[in-house]
């Protein structure tokens, strides 16, 4: 079958063997797979766990290729792509999403940018009949946003700032509005993403404006969600939040970053870490899409066939696109 494979230097569509049948696993005919920042890290060779020969793709939707666990062949599904160890303290204490040895489909096992993918059957999440499978492929990134906003303890009427208007940042902004923010400020530098944020009804700002407002003693935001993981954001964000506010880390900082701890202390600002999602967050994301409460459509800015997927990776680098989907089937 055809698959998008990271070969250690470049990514290419390559013939690979179909996944075999195995006890306890489910075989999925992939319909759509999303590409995200993690995939860019893999293709840059900067992901610490990915090994050459990897089929990428951890956010996807498709249909069961054969019956499993009482679900019929053809059932539309997405998956919780997390592979936890089940033995560490986090796993034993109901926190398997922060497992010490957390692994992921599409990073540590062959992923879904391929005609078929095999996953542990317990990871399957059936999708409502009739849900657009393009939207089904956005359940995973939306669940990241659901998890982050729930972790923020956002209260009705609070002002939220989101730094970064990629797919995760915009999904966070959408979820913050749904969760009761009175205003959602979005800081982003890429023009196409700023335009989209504005079209979605968010107030586009620059982080220097937040800093200036704080220095003038004016309110800025009660909750700031950092969807960049960029060191300059960490260097500044303590100065962009109202006293008593919360800063939620959504993007991954791969290196230690200097943070103004004095400002966090003097203003009693909380910093909250987040990692992926719980099963519940994925189920909430599906409900938000199925009911129309959250519409992924404006964020799905480009869809390419699997045959052209290698070039799609580059489309993501300059910030001109938001979510790029690979269409494998339908």
Residue ranges in contact with Zn ion by CB under 5 A: 36, 38, 84-85, 88, 91, 99
Q: Output 84 or 240, the one with its CB closest to Zn ion.
A: 84
From the CB of 66, what's the least distance to Zn ion, in Å? 27
Residue 87: phi and psi, rounded to 5, are -120, -25
From the CB of 276, what's the least distance to Zn ion, in Å? 9
Return the residue matching tokens 């909430």.
Answer: 284
Q: Could you confirm whether 41 is annotated as catalytic?
A: yes
Strand, coil or helix: 117? strand
Q: Enter the tokens of residue 124.
A: 């399957």
Choosing from 14, 38, 203, 303, the catalytic residue is 38
Residue 118: phi and psi, rounded to 5, are -110, 130
Q: Could you confirm whether 75 is annotated as catalytic?
A: no
Cα radius of gyration rounded to whole Å, the chain: 20
State which H helix or E strand residue 145 sits in.
Answer: helix 139-152
From the CB of 302, what's the least distance to Zn ion, in Å? 16
Q: Output 94 or 292, the one with its CB closest to Zn ion.
A: 94
Q: Output 4 or 264, the one with its CB closest to Zn ion.
A: 4
State which H helix or E strand residue 73 sits in.
Answer: none
CB neighbours (10 Å) of residue 186?
26
From the CB of 90, what's the least distance to Zn ion, in Å? 5
Report whether 225 contacts 171 (CB < 8 A): no
Q: How far is 147 from 127, CA to CA, in rounded Å?
A: 19
Q: Output 15 or 93, the one with its CB closest to Zn ion.
A: 93
Active-site residue list: 38, 41
């Amino acid at each position: 079958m055809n698959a998008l494979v990271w070969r250690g230097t470049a990514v290419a569509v390559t013939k690979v063997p179909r996944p075999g049948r195995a006890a306890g696993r489910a075989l999925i005919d992939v319909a759509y797979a999303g590409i995200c920042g993690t995939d860019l890290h893999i293709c840059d060779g900067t992901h610490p766990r990915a090994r050459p020969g990897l089929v990428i793709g951890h956010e996807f939707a498709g249909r069961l290729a054969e019956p499993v666990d009482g679900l019929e062949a053809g059932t539309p599904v997405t998956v919780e792509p997390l592979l936890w160890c089940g033995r560490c303290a986090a796993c034993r204490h109901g926190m398997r999403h922060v497992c010490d040895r957390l692994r992921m489909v599409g990073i540590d096992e062959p992923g879904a940018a391929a005609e078929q993918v095999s996953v542990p059957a317990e990871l399957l999440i059936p999708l409502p009949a009739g849900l657009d499978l393009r939207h089904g492929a956005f359940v995973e990134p939306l669940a990241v946003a659901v998890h982050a906003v729930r972790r923020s303890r956002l209260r009705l009427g609070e002002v939220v700032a989101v730094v970064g208007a990629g797919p995760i940042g915009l999904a966070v902004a959408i979820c913050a509005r749904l969760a009761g923010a009175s205003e959602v400020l979005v800081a982003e530098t890429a023009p196409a993403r700023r335009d989209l944020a504005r079209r979605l009804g968010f107030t586009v700002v620059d982080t220097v404006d937040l800093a200036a407002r704080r220095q003038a003693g004016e309110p800025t935001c009660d909750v700031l969600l950092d969807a960049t993981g960029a060191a300059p954001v960490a260097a500044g964000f303590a100065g962009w939040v109202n006293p008593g506010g919360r800063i939620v880390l959504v993007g991954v900082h791969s290196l230690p970053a200097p943070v103004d701890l004095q400002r966090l202390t003097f203003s009693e600002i909380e910093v909250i870490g987040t990692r992926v999602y719980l099963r519940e967050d994925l189920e909430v994301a599906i409900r938000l899409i199925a009911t129309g409460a959250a519409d992924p459509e404006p964020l799905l800015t480009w869809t390419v066939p699997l045959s052209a997927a290698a070039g799609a990776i580059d489309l993501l680098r300059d910030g001109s696109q938001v979510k790029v989907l690979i269409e494998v089937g339908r």
